[in-house]
């Protein structure tokens, strides 16, 4: 069998990464690099290990030795990151090391190997608390309120500079909240875990008015691949849905999905009504730019939540 492309997926053993591998593995040669810092083991990609066109390397992008024996790839999908937004308050240096320094090392590898295509997972957190909603890609200035958002914005700047210097195409995608199969964190995951431990009480961080746009993981991956194939130059794209879903709606949907009743919901208040310092209380992204390419999600925000609950409960 001849595979169409040789693809490197960083962070490929994690939530979005493993779903990306599942999407690509049928028709491509896929190599995953992951240090397993966000997942306990290779459980999400274990079934691919027996396939001749799949290769897993447990390595860290912060180690230069990681790149020494790697071949040239047709495209790199860079999903690896330290995504613990809450933890950045106590350990901002981890975000800098795992996000900025790791991305710089990867870009140096691309430069030396003359790799010409990159897909990068950024985040809506780069906007901070935007005064315009739905927030378009040209909104500015971007003023992130977390080190996660700040380091992703720094990554975007590095990618823009390297792509200009060394003539490669990068598609930068700013995600809304991604949910679905193989998720290891987030409100749905946490609520299901807490209710299985105590089906009579659910504690929610914040004042309950938090509302964000959610996108199902398969829509997120399909949109990245579709838009990247259509774009002609380095560019930035939002991925999300019209409208938002409140944290209370998510809680009630999880309770319903688990067939529970008489659950007492407790609101902890949190920092300024949000879950923690650095948590953006309301986010909604404009998706007109990707729609202009002809892209449409299969699931809306509420439907993405419902589907994720089915997968995780």
Separation between Cα atoms, residue 186 and residue 84, nearest integer Å: 10
Separation between Cα atoms, residue 131 and residue 34, nearest integer Å: 36
117/104 same-domain check: yes
Name the one residue in this structure whose structure tokens are 């579709």. 226
Give the pLDDT mean for 237-247.
Answer: 96
Name the one residue in this structure whose structure tokens are 């688990």. 258
CATH number at residue 194: 3.90.25.10
Give the pLDDT mean for 187-204.
Answer: 96
- Residue 109 belongs to domain spanning: 6-178+214-239
Q: How far is CA 169 from the centre of its chain?
A: 20
231: pLDDT strictly greater than 60:
yes
What single string gives the DSSP state of each residue in 68-114?
TT----SEEEE------TGGGGT-HHHHIIIIIIHHHHHHHHHHHHT
141/200 same-domain check: no
- The string of pLDDT tens digits covering residues 44-103 is 999 999 999 999 999 999 999 999 999 999 999 999 999 888 889 899 999 999 999 999
112/59 same-domain check: yes
56/99 same-domain check: yes
41/145 same-domain check: yes
| Cβ atoms of residues 75 and 120 within 8 Å | no
120/196 same-domain check: no
CATH number at residue 223: 3.40.50.720
141/234 same-domain check: yes
CA distances from 110 to 40, 100, 103, 208 (A): 29, 15, 10, 44
> Is residue 290 situated within a structural domain?
no
Predicted TM-score (pTM) of the model is 0.96
245: pLDDT strictly greater than 80:
yes
77/119 same-domain check: yes
Q: Given this model, what pLDDT does residue 2 score? A: 44
> Is residue 292 situated within a structural domain?
no
> Is residue 206 situated within a structural domain?
yes
Domain count within the chain: 2
pLDDT band per the 50, 70, 90 thresholds, residue 3: low
153/27 same-domain check: yes
> Is residue 291 situated within a structural domain?
no
């Amino acid at each position: 069998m001849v595979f169409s492309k040789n693809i490197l997926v960083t962070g490929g053993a994690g939530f979005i990464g493993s779903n990306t591998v599942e999407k690509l593995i049928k028709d491509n040669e896929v190599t995953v690099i992951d240090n397993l810092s966000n997942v306990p083991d290779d459980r999400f990609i274990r079934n691919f290990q027996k396939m001749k066109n799949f290769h897993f390397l447990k390595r860290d992008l912060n180690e230069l030795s990681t790149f020494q024996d790697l071949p040239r790839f047709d495209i790199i999908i860079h999903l690896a990151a330290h995504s613990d937004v809450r933890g950045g308050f106590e350990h901002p240096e981890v975000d800098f090391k795992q996000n900025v320094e790791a991305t710089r090392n990867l870009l140096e590898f691309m430069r030396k190997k003359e790799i010409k295509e990159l897909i990068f997972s950024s985040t809506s957190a780069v906007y901070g608390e935007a005064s315009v909603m739905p927030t378009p890609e040209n909104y500015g200035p971007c003023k992130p309120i977390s080190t996660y958002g700040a380091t992703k914005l720094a990554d975007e700047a590095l990618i823009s500079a390297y792509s200009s210097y060394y003539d490669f195409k990068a598609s930068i995608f700013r995600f809304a909240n991604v949910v679905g199969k193989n998720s290891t964190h987030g409100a749905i995951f946490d609520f299901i875990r807490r209710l299985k431990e105590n089906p009579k009480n659910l504690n929610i961080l914040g004042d309950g008015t938090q509302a964000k746009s959610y996108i199902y993981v398969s829509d997120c991956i399909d949109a990245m691949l579709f838009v990247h194939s259509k774009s002609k130059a380095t560019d930035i794209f939002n991925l999300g849905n019209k409208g938002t879903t409140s944290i209370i709606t998510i809680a009630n949907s999880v309770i319903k999905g688990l067939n529970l009743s008489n659950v007492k919901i407790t609101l902890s208040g949190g920092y300024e009504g949000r879950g923690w310092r650095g948590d953006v209380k309301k986010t909604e992204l404009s998706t007109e730019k990707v729609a202009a390419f002809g892209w449409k999600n299969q699931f809306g925000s509420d439907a993405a939540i419902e589907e994720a609950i089915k997968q995780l409960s």
